[in-house]
Amino acid sequence: MGIASHQPASAGATISRVLLLHGIWNARVWVEPLAWRLRAHGFDVDVFGYASVFGGPDVAVPSLVQRLRQSGPVALVGHSLGGLVALEALRQAPELPVPRVVCLGSPLLGSGTARLLGERGWSVALGRSGGLLQQGLREWNGAAEVGLVAGTVPHGLGCLLGAIDHQSDGTVALAETRLPGLRDHCVVSASHSGLVLSAEAARQTAAFLRHGRFGADAPACAA
Protein backbone atom coordinates (compact mmCIF):
# COMPACT_ATOMS: atom_id res chain seq x y z
CA MET A 1 0.00 0.00 0.00
CA GLY A 2 1.59 3.27 -1.10
CA ILE A 3 1.92 6.47 0.83
CA ALA A 4 -0.66 9.04 -0.17
CA SER A 5 0.19 12.50 -1.46
CA HIS A 6 -0.39 15.36 0.97
CA GLN A 7 -2.59 17.13 -1.58
CA PRO A 8 -6.36 16.76 -1.07
CA ALA A 9 -8.16 14.63 -3.65
CA SER A 10 -10.35 16.47 -6.13
CA ALA A 11 -13.93 16.64 -4.93
CA GLY A 12 -15.10 15.67 -8.39
CA ALA A 13 -12.92 12.59 -8.58
CA THR A 14 -14.45 9.15 -9.06
CA ILE A 15 -13.43 7.02 -6.10
CA SER A 16 -14.18 3.29 -5.92
CA ARG A 17 -12.66 2.71 -2.47
CA VAL A 18 -14.77 3.33 0.63
CA LEU A 19 -13.97 3.23 4.33
CA LEU A 20 -16.93 2.74 6.70
CA LEU A 21 -17.10 4.02 10.27
CA HIS A 22 -19.57 2.64 12.81
CA GLY A 23 -21.33 4.59 15.55
CA ILE A 24 -21.23 4.54 19.34
CA TRP A 25 -21.77 1.25 21.20
CA ASN A 26 -21.06 -0.63 17.97
CA ALA A 27 -18.24 -2.65 16.45
CA ARG A 28 -17.01 -3.24 12.91
CA VAL A 29 -19.56 -5.99 12.32
CA TRP A 30 -22.40 -3.50 12.85
CA VAL A 31 -21.87 -1.88 9.44
CA GLU A 32 -21.22 -5.10 7.53
CA PRO A 33 -24.77 -5.11 6.03
CA LEU A 34 -24.06 -1.67 4.57
CA ALA A 35 -20.62 -2.81 3.43
CA TRP A 36 -22.21 -5.75 1.63
CA ARG A 37 -24.70 -3.51 -0.17
CA LEU A 38 -22.02 -1.01 -1.23
CA ARG A 39 -19.88 -3.85 -2.58
CA ALA A 40 -22.89 -4.93 -4.62
CA HIS A 41 -22.93 -1.37 -6.02
CA GLY A 42 -19.34 -1.89 -7.19
CA PHE A 43 -17.30 -0.31 -4.37
CA ASP A 44 -14.22 -1.73 -2.69
CA VAL A 45 -15.20 -1.43 0.98
CA ASP A 46 -13.28 -1.71 4.25
CA VAL A 47 -14.31 -0.88 7.81
CA PHE A 48 -12.51 1.32 10.34
CA GLY A 49 -13.06 0.04 13.86
CA TYR A 50 -12.47 2.16 16.95
CA ALA A 51 -13.27 2.17 20.67
CA SER A 52 -16.20 4.58 20.70
CA VAL A 53 -16.75 4.67 24.48
CA PHE A 54 -13.38 3.96 26.12
CA GLY A 55 -11.23 5.61 23.45
CA GLY A 56 -13.48 8.21 21.86
CA PRO A 57 -12.51 10.84 19.27
CA ASP A 58 -9.24 11.67 21.03
CA VAL A 59 -8.01 8.21 20.04
CA ALA A 60 -10.14 7.50 16.97
CA VAL A 61 -9.43 10.72 15.06
CA PRO A 62 -5.60 10.51 15.13
CA SER A 63 -5.80 6.83 14.25
CA LEU A 64 -8.10 7.57 11.31
CA VAL A 65 -5.87 10.42 10.12
CA GLN A 66 -2.85 8.13 10.16
CA ARG A 67 -4.69 5.45 8.21
CA LEU A 68 -5.94 7.91 5.61
CA ARG A 69 -2.47 9.34 5.10
CA GLN A 70 -1.32 5.86 4.12
CA SER A 71 -4.37 4.75 2.16
CA GLY A 72 -4.45 6.86 -0.97
CA PRO A 73 -7.74 8.42 -2.19
CA VAL A 74 -10.77 6.95 -0.44
CA ALA A 75 -14.32 8.05 0.38
CA LEU A 76 -15.70 7.88 3.91
CA VAL A 77 -19.14 6.70 5.04
CA GLY A 78 -19.97 7.12 8.72
CA HIS A 79 -23.03 6.02 10.66
CA SER A 80 -24.05 8.31 13.53
CA LEU A 81 -20.93 9.11 15.61
CA GLY A 82 -18.86 7.71 12.74
CA GLY A 83 -19.86 10.65 10.56
CA LEU A 84 -18.72 13.11 13.23
CA VAL A 85 -15.40 11.29 13.63
CA ALA A 86 -14.89 11.36 9.86
CA LEU A 87 -15.51 15.11 9.57
CA GLU A 88 -13.42 15.90 12.64
CA ALA A 89 -10.50 13.99 11.09
CA LEU A 90 -10.83 16.03 7.89
CA ARG A 91 -11.16 19.24 9.88
CA GLN A 92 -7.92 18.52 11.70
CA ALA A 93 -6.08 17.27 8.60
CA PRO A 94 -7.66 18.99 5.55
CA GLU A 95 -4.95 17.69 3.23
CA LEU A 96 -6.20 14.09 3.49
CA PRO A 97 -7.12 12.48 0.13
CA VAL A 98 -10.86 12.18 0.82
CA PRO A 99 -13.07 13.68 -1.91
CA ARG A 100 -16.48 12.72 -0.52
CA VAL A 101 -18.12 11.78 2.76
CA VAL A 102 -21.59 10.38 3.43
CA CYS A 103 -22.99 10.62 6.94
CA LEU A 104 -25.88 8.34 7.89
CA GLY A 105 -28.05 9.74 10.68
CA SER A 106 -25.15 11.71 12.17
CA PRO A 107 -26.12 14.44 14.68
CA LEU A 108 -23.76 16.90 13.04
CA LEU A 109 -25.18 19.84 15.01
CA GLY A 110 -25.05 17.92 18.29
CA SER A 111 -27.37 15.32 19.78
CA GLY A 112 -30.26 16.25 22.07
CA THR A 113 -30.41 12.61 23.13
CA ALA A 114 -26.76 12.73 24.21
CA ARG A 115 -27.31 16.01 26.06
CA LEU A 116 -30.31 14.58 27.91
CA LEU A 117 -28.29 11.53 28.94
CA GLY A 118 -25.72 13.91 30.38
CA GLU A 119 -28.32 15.96 32.22
CA ARG A 120 -29.72 12.80 33.79
CA GLY A 121 -26.30 11.69 35.00
CA TRP A 122 -25.83 8.97 32.39
CA SER A 123 -22.81 10.50 30.65
CA VAL A 124 -20.84 7.37 31.48
CA ALA A 125 -22.83 5.58 28.77
CA LEU A 126 -21.33 7.93 26.17
CA GLY A 127 -17.82 7.63 27.54
CA ARG A 128 -15.18 9.75 25.86
CA SER A 129 -17.40 10.38 22.84
CA GLY A 130 -19.88 12.42 24.89
CA GLY A 131 -18.38 15.82 24.11
CA LEU A 132 -18.39 15.43 20.34
CA LEU A 133 -21.89 13.93 20.32
CA GLN A 134 -23.33 16.66 22.52
CA GLN A 135 -21.63 19.60 20.81
CA GLY A 136 -21.41 18.51 17.17
CA LEU A 137 -19.88 20.86 14.60
CA ARG A 138 -20.66 24.46 13.69
CA GLU A 139 -20.47 24.14 9.91
CA TRP A 140 -18.59 22.37 7.15
CA ASN A 141 -16.23 24.32 4.92
CA GLY A 142 -13.67 21.65 4.08
CA ALA A 143 -12.64 20.47 0.62
CA ALA A 144 -14.54 17.18 0.80
CA GLU A 145 -18.12 17.11 -0.47
CA VAL A 146 -20.40 15.93 2.34
CA GLY A 147 -23.85 14.37 1.99
CA LEU A 148 -26.24 13.40 4.78
CA VAL A 149 -28.82 10.61 4.69
CA ALA A 150 -31.37 11.01 7.48
CA GLY A 151 -33.96 8.52 8.67
CA THR A 152 -37.64 9.31 9.25
CA VAL A 153 -38.87 6.30 11.26
CA PRO A 154 -39.05 7.55 14.89
CA HIS A 155 -38.14 4.36 16.73
CA GLY A 156 -35.21 4.71 19.09
CA LEU A 157 -33.68 5.85 22.36
CA GLY A 158 -34.31 9.55 21.83
CA CYS A 159 -38.04 9.08 21.47
CA LEU A 160 -38.18 6.76 24.47
CA LEU A 161 -36.43 9.37 26.60
CA GLY A 162 -38.57 12.21 25.27
CA ALA A 163 -35.47 14.01 24.01
CA ILE A 164 -36.78 14.53 20.45
CA ASP A 165 -40.08 14.67 18.60
CA HIS A 166 -41.42 12.61 15.72
CA GLN A 167 -39.32 14.52 13.15
CA SER A 168 -36.46 12.12 13.72
CA ASP A 169 -35.09 8.63 13.20
CA GLY A 170 -35.90 7.85 16.83
CA THR A 171 -32.44 8.84 18.08
CA VAL A 172 -31.38 11.87 16.03
CA ALA A 173 -33.71 14.73 15.11
CA LEU A 174 -33.82 15.80 11.48
CA ALA A 175 -32.93 19.32 12.57
CA GLU A 176 -29.71 17.97 14.13
CA THR A 177 -28.54 16.69 10.75
CA ARG A 178 -28.82 19.98 8.80
CA LEU A 179 -25.23 21.17 9.09
CA PRO A 180 -24.46 24.36 7.12
CA GLY A 181 -22.11 23.55 4.27
CA LEU A 182 -23.50 20.15 3.31
CA ARG A 183 -23.38 19.41 -0.41
CA ASP A 184 -26.67 17.48 -0.31
CA HIS A 185 -29.21 16.05 2.12
CA CYS A 186 -31.95 13.44 1.71
CA VAL A 187 -34.26 11.34 3.85
CA VAL A 188 -35.15 7.65 3.69
CA SER A 189 -37.71 5.55 5.52
CA ALA A 190 -35.53 4.02 8.23
CA SER A 191 -34.88 4.28 11.94
CA HIS A 192 -31.47 5.29 13.28
CA SER A 193 -30.25 1.71 13.60
CA GLY A 194 -32.07 0.73 10.42
CA LEU A 195 -30.00 3.10 8.28
CA VAL A 196 -27.19 0.55 8.08
CA LEU A 197 -29.69 -2.11 6.93
CA SER A 198 -31.61 0.02 4.44
CA ALA A 199 -31.26 -0.78 0.74
CA GLU A 200 -32.44 2.75 -0.08
CA ALA A 201 -29.85 4.34 2.23
CA ALA A 202 -27.16 2.27 0.52
CA ARG A 203 -28.45 3.25 -2.93
CA GLN A 204 -28.43 6.94 -2.09
CA THR A 205 -24.98 6.59 -0.53
CA ALA A 206 -23.67 5.01 -3.72
CA ALA A 207 -25.20 7.82 -5.81
CA PHE A 208 -23.51 10.50 -3.74
CA LEU A 209 -20.16 8.73 -3.76
CA ARG A 210 -20.27 8.59 -7.56
CA HIS A 211 -21.83 11.93 -8.45
CA GLY A 212 -21.67 14.21 -5.41
CA ARG A 213 -25.48 14.29 -5.32
CA PHE A 214 -28.18 11.96 -4.10
CA GLY A 215 -30.52 10.36 -6.62
CA ALA A 216 -33.00 12.59 -8.39
CA ASP A 217 -35.84 10.67 -6.71
CA ALA A 218 -34.40 11.12 -3.21
CA PRO A 219 -36.81 13.01 -0.93
CA ALA A 220 -35.41 16.27 0.33
CA CYS A 221 -35.49 16.95 4.03
CA ALA A 222 -38.50 19.06 4.95
CA ALA A 223 -37.72 22.54 6.19
- Domain limits, the chain: 17-165+173-211
The domain 17-165+173-211 having CATH identifier 1.10.260.40: the answer here is no
pLDDT digits (tens, 9 = 90+) for 74-95: 999 999 999 999 999 999 999 9
Per the CB < 8 A criterion, the answer to whether 25 and 49 are in contact is: no
DSSP string, 41-54: TT-EEEEE---TTT
| Bridge partners of residue 77, in order along the sequence | 20, 102
Question: What average pLDDT score do residues 155-160 get?
Answer: 49
| Bridge partners of residue 18, in order along the sequence | 45, 75
Looking at the chain, which runs of residues are DSSP E strands? 17-21, 44-48, 75-79, 100-104, 145-151, 184-188
For residue 190, pLDDT beyond 50: yes
Please state the pTM of the whole predicted model.
0.86
Question: What average pLDDT score do residues 21-35 get?
Answer: 85
Amino acid letter, 152: T
The Cβ of residue 189 has, within 10 Å, a number of other Cβ atoms equal to: 13
Going by pLDDT thresholds of 50, 70 and 90, the confidence category of residue 114 is confident
Residue 121 buriedness (CB in 10 A; 0-12 / 13-18 / 19+): exposed
The residue with greater pLDDT, 96 or 163, is: 96
